[in-house]
Structure 1
Amino acid sequence: MSEAVAAAQTQSLLARIKGLLLKPRQEWPVIAGERTSIGGLMLSYVAVIAAIPVLAQMIGMLVFGISVLGVTYRPPIMTTLAGALGQYVLSLIAVGVIAVMIDVLAPKFGGRRNLTQAFKVAAYGSTAAWLAGAAALLPAISFLAILGAYSLYLLYLGLPVLMEAPKEKALAYTAVVVILAGLLFVVAGAITRPLMARPHGAALSGAFAGSVLSQDRVSLPTGRVSLPGGRQVDLGEMQQAVARAEKMTRNARDGAAAVVAAEKLAEFLPASIGHYRQVSAESSSVGTIELDGSRAEARYVLDDQYIELSVTDIPMAGPMAAIGAAMQVRGERKTATGYERTHVVDGAFVAEEWDQTTGQGSYTTMAGERFLITATGKVADMKELKAAVAAARPDRIARLAG
């Protein structure tokens, strides 16, 4: 490769990063129209940007080490290199897995399946998170890691453009992708981390009192871990959730985790919600090697206001939701006209969005650790959306999980 070509590719890469970070609304339509292959995008963009956090973390560990209670530990070079290589490979695989999720979920949110476009969203949407990984290089700038959350915004803007999903469903689409992808990798990390740490487990055994590494079985640490904000994670519950994830994966592989028929889900959509009357309804199912699911949705109207109520069955969401609940996942963003909030209520995920100016919002909860019940629309207040979800009888839907 000549220096001129290399320079041109570098400029193109930098221009793309700048566009995504500074002008994402204008950049996504440009990306949507570009003709590229998954392999080409993987080599020219993902393989380069995904290396940033890996290299930063590797250099940071070798130079600054790991500090715990005033004691600094610097892992051996070969150990660090092996870990970095494993992390890098998993990062590349992660993009592909997220792309498949985005592609399979597209029809459920009014979009169109296109794996290449889904891969673009997964690859370019991860840009901010990868760049934020550079914070691992210097402890003094570790607070910059929070900028990685900007990738959620990139995903939110990119999904409706590339997957042709309605904008009003972009938040729900984003939430489902983030929850499924995030919790899937928590499961993967919880399973693989002890395995990767086994050869050198004794070096930091004091930091994980109660963890057991035997030749026959790998056990996760036990006890509770404190998180910022006073929250605690019960590692025992986390281990149980991982075990359930393994069992559900086997059931899915053996055909034992049957998806509830969309027609059955439709029975939980009432003919009316208060003064709102049902004007249309539809249901669909998808069955692939990557993901099984079904969905029923209905639209309700009252004068110029409306509610769209849906019930979605995603069996593989069960163990992921359990892990998220154990981690007490939550987040909130307030604006001058409303808010966006994700939290856990009675062990179930809840996602809310409300804009007081437009009177539009959405409310999503989970029943039976696998059924997503979502109400979106233009209403008088959030109470009407919550009432719509309650009208679907989440307690009875949960019984379908068996």
Structure 2
Amino acid sequence: MSLGHTVGLLTHPDREWEAIRNHSESTSMLYVGHVLLLALIPAAAGFYGTTQVGWQIGDGQIIRLTESSALQLSVLFYAAMLAGIYILGRFIDFFAATYEVKDDKPRGVILAAYTATPIFLMGVIAVYPNIWVNMMAGLVAVAYSVYLLYEGLPILMKIPAERGFMFASSVLTVGLVMFVSLLAISVVIWSMGVGPVYVS
């Protein structure tokens, strides 16, 4: 049922957030039916794009990664997405009391997972690793995810729109901090020798 919400979030998000709220779903079922599958899209697309297509800087030669290096990076990226959804979801649950959410059922991971849906789907563009194409597609996906966050949080948490706006802004801030932290962790991991290896 989780993947059934995907089209609805893209076509009629208000009604779909209501349906998600009314559909009782555990975190494990959400991961099995939605997150594990959709997070594979950018990871697999990135693997294919960096090993089979490659990218070019200016008029230089086409650059590709070795399959073992790309696989290693794709697995790390996939794991980071899975962990990131869960951690952000736990932050949302932690903030819920601050914004006077009366519902006892934790819904943070649900909100984080479905909000990230456009980013997962747009990840397919990584099969063509052109920096400008990927950047524009990424901006569109992030913009729609932010829209889903602001639109869906008040519905899912059953709080007034103005309080939902403040709550969503806090969630967005945490998400940005997590993204910067991920970049810093990536630099550390690369310095330990787990960086990209290029085809010579």
Give the TM-score taking structure 2 as reference length.
Answer: 0.86
Which residue number in structure 2 is paired with residue 119 of structure 1?
Answer: 109
Q: Percent identity?
A: 28
Of 41, 48, 68, the residue aligned with 1:78 is: 68
Which residue number in structure 1 is paired with residue 151 of structure 2?
Answer: 157
Shift of 1:63: 1.8
Which residue number in structure 1 is paired with residue 49 of structure 2?
Answer: 60
Whether the 8 Å CA contact 2:115–2:148 is kept in 1: the answer is yes
Who wins on radius of gyration, i.e. which is larger?
Answer: 1
**In angstroms, what is the RMSD of aligned CA positions?**
2.2
Unaligned runs of 5+ in 1: 1-8, 205-402
Structure 1 or 2: more helix by fraction: 2
Structure 1 or 2: more strand by fraction: 1
Secondary structure at the residue paired with 1:108?
Answer: coil
What do the CA deviations read for 1:18-70 (whole angstroms, capped 9, x no partner)?
10001000000110011121111111111001111111111111122243342
Matched, 1:144 2:133: no
Shift of 1:187: 1.4
Instruction: Trace 1:216-365 onto structure 2 (pairs within 5 A).
Output: none
Whether the 8 Å CA contact 1:99–1:118 is kept in 2: the answer is yes
Which residue number in structure 1 is paired with residue 7 of structure 2?
Answer: 18
Shift of 1:113: 5.9
Residue type of the alignment partner of 2:42: P
The structure 1 segments of at least 4 consecutive aligned residues displaced by more than 4 Å after TM superposition are 200-204
Alignment coverage as a number of residue pairs: 193
Distance in 1 of aligned mates of 2:126 and 2:196: 24
Shift of 1:114: 4.7
Higher RCO (CA-CA < 8 Å; seq separation 6+): 2
Which residue number in structure 1 is paired with residue 40 of structure 2?
Answer: 51
Unaligned runs of 5+ in 2: none
What do the CA deviations read for 1:76-133 (whole angstroms, capped 9, x no partner)?
1001001100110111111111101111112222323656421111111110111111
Residue type of the alignment partner of 2:92: I
Whether the 8 Å CA contact 1:135–1:144 is kept in 2: the answer is yes
Shift of 1:174: 1.3
Alpha-carbon spacing, 1:114–1:56, altered in 2? closer, same or farther (3 Å): farther
Matched, 1:130 2:120: yes
Whether the 8 Å CA contact 1:117–1:162 is kept in 2: the answer is yes
Give the TM-score taking structure 1 as reference length.
Answer: 0.45
Instruction: Trace 1:82-121 onto structure 2 (pairs within 5 A).
Output: 82-112=72-102, 114=104, 116-121=106-111
Which residue number in structure 2 is paired with residue 237 of structure 1?
Answer: none
Of 26, 35, 38, the residue aligned with 1:37 is: 26
Whether the 8 Å CA contact 1:65–1:74 is kept in 2: the answer is yes
Whether the 8 Å CA contact 1:103–1:113 is kept in 2: the answer is no
Distance in 2 of aligned mates of 1:89 and 1:114: 29
Distance in 2 of aligned mates of 1:79 and 1:61: 10
